[in-house]
Amino acid sequence: MEKITDRPIDKAQVDLALLRSGVDQANIPSLLMCLVQMTGDMKWLDAPYTPRRGVGLDDNDSAGLPEDVQQEIRDAAFAAVTAWLDGQPLAMPRPSNQQLAAMLTAAMAEPVPEEYGEVIAATMKLDEPAAPPAVKRPLSAIIIGAGVSGICAAIRLKEIGIPCQIFEKNDEIGGTWWENRYPGCGVDTPNLTYTFSFRSTDWSHYFPLREEISRYLIDTAREYGLYDLVRFRTTVKKARWQSDTNQWQVTVINADGVEEVHYADVVFSAVGILNMPLVPQIDGLQSFKGRVIHTADWPEDVDLTGKRVAVVGNGASAMQVVPAIADQVASLTIFARSKQWAAPFPQFRKEVPRGVRYLIQVLPLYRAWYEQRLSWTFNDRVHGTLFRDPDWKEPARSVNAINDGHRQHFTRYVIEQLGDRQDLLEHVLPDFPPFAKRMLLDNGWYKTLRRDNVRLVPHRLARIEGSTLTSANGETIEADVLILATGFQAANVLGSYEVVGRDGRVLKEFWGQDNAAAYLGTVVPGFPNFFILLGPNVGAGHGGSMIRSIENQTHYALQILQTMLDHDAAAVEVREQTYNDYVAKVDAAHEKLVWTHPGTENWYRNAQGRVIAITPWRNDAFWRMTRKAQPGDFQFIPATAPTEQEPATPPAAASA
């Protein structure tokens, strides 16, 4: 990834007309921040150039400014860019952290915490990176999974000289983006935030669809030589810690169905939490005469043209697949027993203009500032509004005054989208606060519900007899195809294989049926040299980049290994007290947030109501937590005979 001072394209090769087109269509708030750094003139933060606050998730490209002021900014920006291409250096190559926070505050037209400046500087790569961990003795690693997490771990391990082998159950790199192929499948995170920090790409859409993301991951793996490390069609069966050798024994079933045993000093579990499809219990499901398709296992040969299609679910995958197929099916019936909040999505299927794509390639500084705005808008901007106000008088509808304002805004939007079908309002408008469940983005869902060939049944699918589907209230329909848009077993963390740590401790038993926990989402006591990527309480329910969280965890895991090597130890594991204290803090923090709102169900929580999937922390807080491994948080296993280790307490007891 280029630094902001880099000139990726030589001035003689720059297409100035295309560049001018990009500047003329670029995001004004981002251009203003570029002008500040390129010219050193702070006037660009003041009136009449100060951006007005944007609405919702809109990019606010015009900054809400008059046309003449916008044109003045664009002309000045083009002049500054061409001068920079001619060799003029940035006037402010390294604003202070305080200045960076103030600049983002101006760009967003809303307060950004001053401490955010540190994260802005790091993600913009304004300082020289710290030296990578020094591997003082040979180590080996096994990575389970070749999705985003596995790719990130493999690249970082290669960089510091730790050889690794990757076991992947699929035929190709990509994980969830290889598996999920249903129509309309795409990301609900902006393109620049869904990009590895070490490898940029030329995204064609503001929110890429599955095909482009899959291609990006495959190209990244090829560029970094990962294909030589992957064993495809290989399923991990068990990982067992060997105390006599201080290594992991990993048992796999290879592509020929033969069991193999492999050994490594370190294991990275990169299977994620959205890995095992959830198939609902429906009486008679196996007897359905038509085709049953889970969105996570979409067949290439399916043709829905003219078919009577039924969909179970109305979550993220349903909101994408339903609008995508409504045009081609004869009829479409949706069984949705619950309701969802969906936010306006102005960038839906919107292509990045060719000129703007070129500007991003020519001027890394613009890319960096545009990414900062996206990161704030879609990440931590809303976090402070999700705390439950104990004095709030209407807790059934919202958790505080700002959250109630969100409810009013989203309600107006739903009413507007339903148009002449206001009879649907009672079936789609949630009776719980916004953000209590995952906030979805409207891919045309409400407008699709208005179609003549689409029917919403606000009840669960209770029974199937042949091709007849019966809902819980007795309504029946006939269907040729049944689509299960029912998500994943999110609470069954690492449920696809068995993990046995020291002293024979079985991870599933230690956690309990669905009560996963990990220190910083990454390490568990009793399981030395075992790192979980995208583990418990790492996902961001309030918004955030999954890739950034994975990169933070990978960085932290390597810091732990560095600490282990500094102590001349053979292995390292988190201390019981450190783990228990962290779990208690996570649980206490969640109790103050909207996701534990009474009477609300969401896939973030387990059967006991404990939040296990998402973090209570702001993204910048998690970034700080994962910068450095503190030796006092860990116990080190020497290379000699193993010593007696601390007992570990399951999370249920830790948070009791």
CATH number, domain at 564?
Answer: 3.50.50.60
- Is residue 255 domain-shared with residue 315, that is, in the same domain? no
Q: Confirm whether 392 is domain-assigned.
A: no
**Tokens standing for 414?**
């739903």
pLDDT of the residue at 648: 40
Q: Confirm whether 654 is domain-assigned.
A: no
In whole angstroms, give the CA distance from residue 628 to residue 622. 12
- Is residue 312 domain-shared with residue 407, that is, in the same domain? yes
- Is residue 329 domain-shared with residue 458, that is, in the same domain? yes
Mean pLDDT of the 518-537 span: 97
Q: Confirm whether 235 is domain-assigned.
A: yes
Q: How far is CA 526 from the centre of its chain?
A: 28
Number of separate domains in the chain: 3
Q: Confirm whether 333 is domain-assigned.
A: yes
For the segment 166-186, what is each residue's pLDDT rounded down to a tens digit? Answer: 999 999 999 999 999 999 999
Whether 348 and 207 have beta carbons less than 8 Å apart is answered as yes
State what percent of residues in the chain have pLDDT above 70: 97
Residue 511 has pLDDT above 50, yes or no: yes
- Is residue 465 domain-shared with residue 328, that is, in the same domain? yes
Residue 370 has pLDDT above 70, yes or no: yes
- Is residue 195 domain-shared with residue 329, that is, in the same domain? no
- Is residue 60 domain-shared with residue 21, that is, in the same domain? yes
- Is residue 222 domain-shared with residue 78, that is, in the same domain? no
- Is residue 264 domain-shared with residue 149, that is, in the same domain? yes
- Is residue 368 domain-shared with residue 468, that is, in the same domain? no
pTM of the model: 0.94
Whether 56 and 341 have beta carbons less than 8 Å apart is answered as no
- Is residue 269 domain-shared with residue 296, that is, in the same domain? no
- pLDDT band with cut points at 50, 70 and 90 for residue 656: very low
For the segment 237-263, what is each residue's pLDDT rounded down to a tens digit? Answer: 999 999 999 999 999 999 999 999 999
- Is residue 304 domain-shared with residue 325, that is, in the same domain? yes
For the segment 201-223, what is each residue's pLDDT rounded down to a tens digit? Answer: 999 999 999 999 999 999 999 99
Q: Confirm whether 648 is domain-assigned.
A: no
Whether 184 and 323 have beta carbons less than 8 Å apart is answered as yes
pLDDT of the residue at 1: 64
Of the listed ranges 88-97, 278-287, 449-458, the least confidently predicted one is 278-287
- pLDDT band with cut points at 50, 70 and 90 for residue 57: confident
pLDDT of the residue at 640: 63
Residue 353 has pLDDT above 60, yes or no: yes
pLDDT of the residue at 219: 98
- pLDDT band with cut points at 50, 70 and 90 for residue 480: very high
Whether 317 and 443 have beta carbons less than 8 Å apart is answered as no
Mean pLDDT of the 62-81 span: 98
pLDDT of the residue at 650: 47
Nearest to 57 by CA among 346, 253, 436: 346
Q: Confirm whether 389 is domain-assigned.
A: no
- pLDDT band with cut points at 50, 70 and 90 for residue 129: confident
- Is residue 414 domain-shared with residue 320, that is, in the same domain? yes
**122 is in which domain, residue-wise?**
11-129+352-381
Average pLDDT, the chain: 94
- Domain boundary (427, 461, 484) is at 484
Mean pLDDT of the 268-272 span: 94
Whether 562 and 134 have beta carbons less than 8 Å apart is answered as yes
